Structure 1
Amino acid sequence: MLADGLHDVPPGKVAAVVTHLEMRRPPALRPAPTDLAIRRVTNPDLDWYRSLFRRVGGYDWLWFSRLNLDDDALRTIITDPNVEIWPISKDGAEEGFLELDFRTRGTCELAFLALAPALIGTGTGRALMNYAITRAWARPISRFHVQTCTLDSPRALEFYRRSGFTPTRQQVEIADDPRLTGKLPLEAGPHVPLLRP
């Protein structure tokens, strides 16, 4: 347990408050566009996956979790038949993706749902969430869960709540700053101070 008060984050690290959310039954779907250009990719190429991951989450939001995995660890996750990866396209370019993880029996984790700036504010996020909810609850699950953190878009937490998720707990995560490890460029995540050791 952390004591009340301020706690120093060591130079070279980033800190985030992680909020875990879940739903125990499918909610009513929210109005959204229905013309999604979405397809499932099985056995994705590692370079393709990392490039899309960086584009939709790395530069703006300092997503680094999958960038810290070596090739074998990443391949094990994204080629698992119980992990579904659904990129979304606009004008022939992939501008976001949805990743559902069914590896734990009876549950589905919304591992990632992200859009590049070209699709933000178009209703595509709601449409992608509707798709995620429909896919998740089409399987015999009793829990659909997701997590977001203070490195994400400041609109993410409320988006998940409006979509039917309820917060269940919070954690503090401290990790190496991916800009200093070379996983992301130094100019990534300008909303997060870069503190060199």
Structure 2
Amino acid sequence: MKSKYLETTLSLDDLAQKEEEYTEISSVIPSNAEDIDTVISYYKIIANKWGWFSRLQWSFEEWSNHILDNTTYFRFIVNNYNKIGFLELKRISRDVGLIKYVALLDEFIGLGYGKQTIFLIKKMAKENALNKLLVQTRDTDHPNALKSYLKAGFVILKQEELTFEK
């Protein structure tokens, strides 16, 4: 499996110019037990499709602690009051964030919401004093994931072949 590591720096000018273009989605912080259950359900649905297995066995308590961690920015992606997926941004140093997940339910893929979500993440990062974002994509991710990050101003830092033992 091939993996690519990308980065971008954040510009206030870039964010201001695009703000008006991206108004179809917003984000909501999971805030109660029902929301945590929805996160778990969405993760299982989306993880199985894209081969994300690291959190499939997490308990409700592990998810709750993770979402409430003050270095994790976990949000539902919302369109017309409907939760259509989730995003996760992790602060890994004082001014650097790592995009862990941009995850949309199948029926919302290919409608431009991924691009809007990347913009939302960049805006959220800037609001939280992050000046650089990193992300890893794999060839098992959605075929347009890499293209979307490149169009959003990310550049490839390195590429490697990953192997997993069974």
TM-score w.r.t. length of structure 2 = 0.79
**Where does residue 25 of structure 1 map in the other structure?**
10
How many Å separate the matches in 2 of 1:143 and 1:125?
19
How many Å separate the matches in 2 of 1:99 and 1:74?
12
Q: Using a 3 Å threshold, how does the CA distance of structure 1 residues 35 and 103 change in structure 2: closer, same or farther?
A: same
Q: Residue type of the partner of 2:42?
A: L
2:158 is the alignment partner of 1:169: yes
How many Å separate the matches in 2 of 1:75 and 1:87?
14
2:66 is the alignment partner of 1:77: yes
CA contact (8 A) 2:3 2:139 kept: yes
Between 1:132-141 and 1:68-77, the stretch displaced more is 68-77
What count of residue pairs does the alignment treat as equivalent? 161
3-state SS, counterpart of residue 102 of structure 1: strand
**Where does residue 41 of structure 1 map in the other structure?**
30
Between 1:123-132 and 1:20-29, the stretch displaced more is 20-29
Q: Using a 3 Å threshold, how does the CA distance of structure 1 residues 48 and 123 change in structure 2: closer, same or farther?
A: same
Q: How much is the aligned-residue C-alpha RMSD, in angstroms?
A: 2.7
1:159-181 CA deviation, whole Å, 9 max, x = no partner?
Answer: 1110111111123333467xxxx
Q: Residue type of the partner of 1:67?
A: L
3-state SS, counterpart of residue 128 of structure 1: helix
Q: Using a 3 Å threshold, how does the CA distance of structure 1 residues 67 and 173 change in structure 2: closer, same or farther?
A: farther
Hey, which of these two has a bigger chunk of helix by percent? 2
Match of 2:112 among 114, 117, 123: 123
3-state SS, counterpart of residue 63 of structure 1: coil
**Where does residue 54 of structure 1 map in the other structure?**
44
How many Å separate the matches in 1 of 2:113 and 2:73?
19
1:104-145 CA deviation, whole Å, 9 max, x = no partner?
Answer: 322111111121122122222222111111111223233211
How many Å separate the matches in 2 of 1:65 and 1:25?
29
Match of 1:86 among 64, 75, 100: 75
CA contact (8 A) 2:125 2:131 kept: no
**Where does residue 13 of structure 1 map in the other structure?**
none
3-state SS, counterpart of residue 151 of structure 1: coil
Q: Residue type of the partner of 1:28?
A: D
Residue identity (%):
25
Offset of residue 50 of structure 1: 2.2
CA contact (8 A) 2:24 2:79 kept: no
**Where does residue 63 of structure 1 map in the other structure?**
52
Instruction: Name stretches of at least 5 consecutive residues in structure 1 with no aligned partner.
Output: 1-15, 178-197
Superposed counterparts of 1:104-143, under 5 Å: 104-143=93-132
Instruction: Name stretches of at least 5 consecutive residues in structure 2 with no aligned partner.
Output: none
